[in-house]
A and B are shown apart, each in its own frame.
Chain A
């Protein structure tokens, strides 16, 4: 695999003599669409992504939207952006710097220009740079006239005007007509990068089937944008990013949240179990609920609970009833669910708790990504309360890891955390569609007969008599049987009070309590016997191991590969299983002179690794609500290996347009 550092080509001397723009081939392009949150930038970005994916590029996306649904139009707080990295080779991140920026208004320009590379293409809607637009964005003069613009290839397009002309015959109100302008901009960029329009045209036909006027207008706007690019020869060249050389197969685009929803349905259907999904709406986990709520014909039952606690209780109740109980939330919701998660630990019932992490503490940064709930998932409950944790490393990996979560929960009769994050949840990448035969079948058994025999030790109250059902009699992995109400002869009671070993009766004896605490912990440790070893990408031993978890995978992998190509002795390992960790984790850590742990938090895996293995690892920590740039990790790797002074991640300049904006 090769890593490109894409730069836009020089504009000089490429225009062809016959007036038709030439085509230039590029390996990779990073583009960002940004505008007001009402401008439809997420839609434009998604459509561009679809077109690129269908064309066969590898893709990685980074949607970035404000917490406010509709912040005042034109303000900095209301800017919404969608970044896409598309490439003719395998890529793992949405790109560090932009080759092309589409800015629909001054506020979008102001907040995003810093990410555009020198010489990059800047497309602006010049109709939205009037005096009041500039004022709302805090500009005192028109930035398009400034010296700074000389650093970019600025393309001013009067999108409002051109779009209105394009849709003039569709008999829309001026407001409705203006809503089509994202399609005009999209058409223009489609032309620039030789993308096929058909997938978007098809989407428009399906989406607006009931509204022919809007269907027609959006179609016209898209085509008008495309044709405008072509006829005006806006650029002397247009660009082609060929198909990526990725492993053969049938692919689709998938976001992390979609992969979780689809993975849950698949895992439970193959296990011949009912999926009961209970959740309270919370950003950024809500799309999972919305997706599953629309999958009723797959037999999925969804409950929109009255609160986070209720959602957890419903998942536990479903598990007690023999179904796969699942809930998803974000950090604040995990806080509320904690007591109930403890109940699931005590009663040893299998349920899956998905935490799509966001910036915290408290309400924090609802729409921004962070990895700061690891220690909460690990320890955030009363008592000795071990819960296994898995963490997908990319959007498509969510499918695999949620399968694992269901497997571990049911095999070990335990609640389990799956830690996703805002970046994985909303980001998209190609997913190689698996064949059903290749997927594991999770085998689940419910007892139908009593499990107590004549030669067993007797317990208090005669509970060890032959023919009785003993709800806490464990198998070789220390797992108790999952007997389901409705089964004759197995009537039993469970609850949150400490259990007597074997019988499950309420018991407060000191020795029994310690035994049960240790047994519950040992059971969770036993999971390590069933998970794959930690794999290393790079030399099996050497100077530096970069250890990560979760959504930082792509950035770390790319940075490590770049360092490897420069000849450094550095390897990458990524933990998808955080509790318990793979059995070879310590051996891997000890095979390198130094260990670097980059995280989007203040050092939580770092804390665990140091405490657990006494390895003097160091951290690289970014807490800005944004994913790592590859360059940030690369710089830290080099600093460590060259013994240079510590590298800190610089804070992006704060852009503010006044105290009232959230």
Chain B
């Protein structure tokens, strides 16, 4: 990233006068801090950046960023971001959402903003719980999650945010973890640099209502065996001793130990720019404890953005018939004159 050589902002420039009101120990603090770091390195002026959010703990985010910001209504942030980008395609627009906001009440909009490839960066803070309404299960809560609204354990199948995004033809898909601070900065920088919809899932610990749900990928003593850092062109290797990997068995992934006739070359190699999203989808379906869970960039391909296509049609129409004059519009039907 050459952008790191153009620091025009400091973390302090990006900090507002508002008191941050998340619970102590909430994963959101780390995301806020890494976001400021990432933006400070990008060289995009503050007035060109907009944060748009919906409703939920995560959606307070815009109040704490000294950029333009819009805290909208539950689930609808992608629609407002789309309208904003139509008006001002040059802005760098971030949508901050959560598992409830983005995948439950706003599921429809999430699908459509992604399929249109609107040039917005979507951060889905996944804490697998409803925090702001005080702890009900969410669309990503694992089966059996016991909450106040599921005292016997939840029976709703969870969905995987990245699988949804990939199915919606996302051109950039990544995952990172709230406490993995350097990794998060890199992923956010990659998302910012992507032209088109960038979808980033961030595992975020809700200290109050779902504490420890991501311990298997954050606890230093065990995480290496549960976490796979994706690198473009590299084999899928993981484990404390880098002795495990993922290979393909028919159409299914298989976690294997290296040695005993299994070499690194037998493993799947990551290709984030693959034309077909099959590999990215397969990786998005790998779930603990059967598999390590992947973080990093799953998919990054360049396709025309919605804004580009809109502009292209306008240019084409003007080229074909000249710029529209209101007088012509008035006279688009036969006329007659009364003396």
Residues in A lying within 8 Å of B, measured CB to CB: 50, 53-56, 199, 243-244, 246-254, 262, 265-266, 269-270, 274, 276, 278, 295-299, 301, 303, 305-307, 309-323, 325, 339-340, 342-343, 347, 433-434, 436, 461-463, 484-497, 505-506
Tell me the bound Cα distance from A486 to B17 in angstroms. 20
Contact residue among B71, B76, B83 (Cβ-Cβ distance under 8 Å from A325)? B83
Q: Looking across the interface, which residue of chain A has its beta carbon closest to that of B47?
A: A488
Contact flag A496-B88 (CB < 8 Å), given A303-B82, A317-B82: no
Q: Which residues of A contact B81 (CB under 8 A)?
A: 317
Contact residue among A250, A265, A311, A339 (Cβ-Cβ distance under 8 Å from B335)? A250
Q: Looking across the interface, which residue of chain A has its beta carbon closest to that of B65?
A: A493
Cβ-defined contact, B47 with A318, below 8 A: no
Cβ-defined contact, B47 with A485, below 8 A: yes
Contact flag A485-B50 (CB < 8 Å), given A297-B324, A306-B112: yes
Cβ-defined contact, A53 with B336, below 8 A: yes
Tell me the bound Cα distance from A505 to B18 in angstroms. 8
Q: Which residues of A contact B108 (CB under 8 A)?
A: 306-307, 310
User: Can you name 9 A-B pairs with beta carbons within 8 Å?
Assistant: A50-B334, A56-B338, A253-B333, A265-B326, A269-B326, A276-B86, A296-B313, A301-B86, A492-B68
In the A-B complex, the 8 residue pairs with the smallest Cβ-Cβ separation, listed nearest first, are A317-B83, A313-B79, A321-B87, A495-B71, A298-B324, A314-B83, A493-B69, A317-B80
Is B151 located at the chain interface by the 8 A CB criterion?
Answer: no
Cβ-defined contact, B76 with A323, below 8 A: no
Cβ-defined contact, A313 with B17, below 8 A: no
Q: Which residues of B contact A296 (CB under 8 A)?
A: 313-314, 316-318
Contact flag A320-B83 (CB < 8 Å), given A248-B339, A266-B329, A297-B321: yes
Task: Please tell me the number of chain B residues within 8 Å of chain A, measured between CB atoms.
Answer: 62
Cβ-defined contact, A493 with B16, below 8 A: yes
Contact residue among B46, B71, B85 (Cβ-Cβ distance under 8 Å from A491)? B46
| Distance to closest chain B CB from A139 (angstroms) | 40
Tell me the bound Cα distance from A492 to B50 in angstroms. 10
Tell me the bound Cα distance from A496 to B74 in angstroms. 10
Interface string of B35-66 (1 = CB under 8 A from A): 00000000001111010100000000011011
Tell me the bound Cα distance from A433 to B330 in angstroms. 7
Cβ-defined contact, A486 with B90, below 8 A: yes
Tell me the bound Cα distance from A303 to B65 in angstroms. 29
Interface string of B304-339 (1 = CB under 8 A from A): 000000100110111011111011011111111111
Q: Looking across the interface, which residue of chain A has its beta carbon closest to that of B316?
A: A296
Cβ-defined contact, A497 with B323, below 8 A: no
Tell me the bound Cα distance from A493 to B332 in angstroms. 43
Q: Which residues of A contact B18 (CB under 8 A)?
A: 461, 505-506
Cβ-defined contact, A251 with B337, below 8 A: yes
Contact flag A493-B334 (CB < 8 Å), given A318-B84, A436-B326: no
Tell me the bound Cα distance from A315 to B80 in angstroms. 7
Q: Which residues of A contact B16 (CB under 8 A)?
A: 493
Q: Looking across the interface, which residue of chain A has its beta carbon closest to that of B59?
A: A495
Cβ-defined contact, A299 with B324, below 8 A: yes
Tell me the bound Cα distance from A295 to B334 in angstroms. 18
Cβ-defined contact, A313 with B72, below 8 A: yes
Q: Which residues of B contact A50 (CB under 8 A)?
A: 333-334
Cβ-defined contact, A485 with B321, below 8 A: no
Tell me the bound Cα distance from A532 to B335 in angstroms. 30
Tell me the bound Cα distance from A50 to B335 in angstroms. 9
Q: Which residues of B contact A251 (CB under 8 A)?
A: 335-338
Most A Cβ at <10 Å: residue of B50, B72, B320, B338? B338
Is B208 located at the chain interface by the 8 A CB criterion?
Answer: no
Cβ-defined contact, B79 with A314, below 8 A: yes
Is B91 located at the chain interface by the 8 A CB criterion?
Answer: yes
Q: Looking across the interface, which residue of chain B has its beta carbon closest to that of A298?
A: B324
| Distance to closest chain B CB from A171 (angstroms) | 31
Q: Which residues of A contact B46 (CB under 8 A)?
A: 488, 491
Tell me the bound Cα distance from A244 to B339 in angstroms. 11
Q: Looking across the interface, which residue of chain B has its beta carbon closest to that of A56?
A: B336
Contact flag A297-B322 (CB < 8 Å), given A485-B91, A493-B68: yes
Contact flag A322-B88 (CB < 8 Å), given A462-B17, A494-B71: yes
Q: Which residues of A contact B109 (CB under 8 A)?
A: 306, 309-310, 313
Q: Looking across the interface, which residue of chain A has its beta carbon closest to that of B13?
A: A491
Q: Which residues of A contact B90 (CB under 8 A)?
A: 486
Cβ-defined contact, B83 with A486, below 8 A: no
Query: Which residues of B in the span 197-228 have a Cβ within 8 Å of any Cβ on A?
Result: none
Cβ-defined contact, B329 with A247, below 8 A: no
Cβ-defined contact, B88 with A321, below 8 A: yes
Cβ-defined contact, B338 with A321, below 8 A: no
Contact residue among A299, A309, A434, A494 (Cβ-Cβ distance under 8 Å from B79)? A309
| Distance to closest chain B CB from A48 (angstroms) | 13
Tell me the bound Cα distance from A514 to B66 in angstroms. 28
Contact flag A491-B47 (CB < 8 Å), given A249-B338, A303-B82, A320-B70: yes
Tell me the bound Cα distance from A269 to B327 in angstroms. 12
Contact flag A247-B72 (CB < 8 Å), given A298-B324, A485-B50: no
Cβ-defined contact, B322 with A252, below 8 A: no
Q: Which residues of B contact A307 (CB under 8 A)?
A: 108
Contact residue among A269, A312, A347, A491 (Cβ-Cβ distance under 8 Å from B68)? A491
Cβ-defined contact, A489 with B324, below 8 A: no
Q: Which residues of B contact A322 (CB under 8 A)?
A: 87-88
Tell me the bound Cα distance from A310 to B72 in angstroms. 12
| Distance to closest chain B CB from A281 (angstroms) | 15
Q: Which residues of A contact B111 (CB under 8 A)?
A: 306
Tell me the bound Cα distance from A499 to B109 in angstroms. 27
| Distance to closest chain A CB from B322 (angstroms) | 7
Contact residue among A199, A276, A325, A485 (Cβ-Cβ distance under 8 Å from B334)? A199
Cβ-defined contact, B327 with A506, below 8 A: no
Q: Which residues of A contact B17 (CB under 8 A)?
A: 461-463
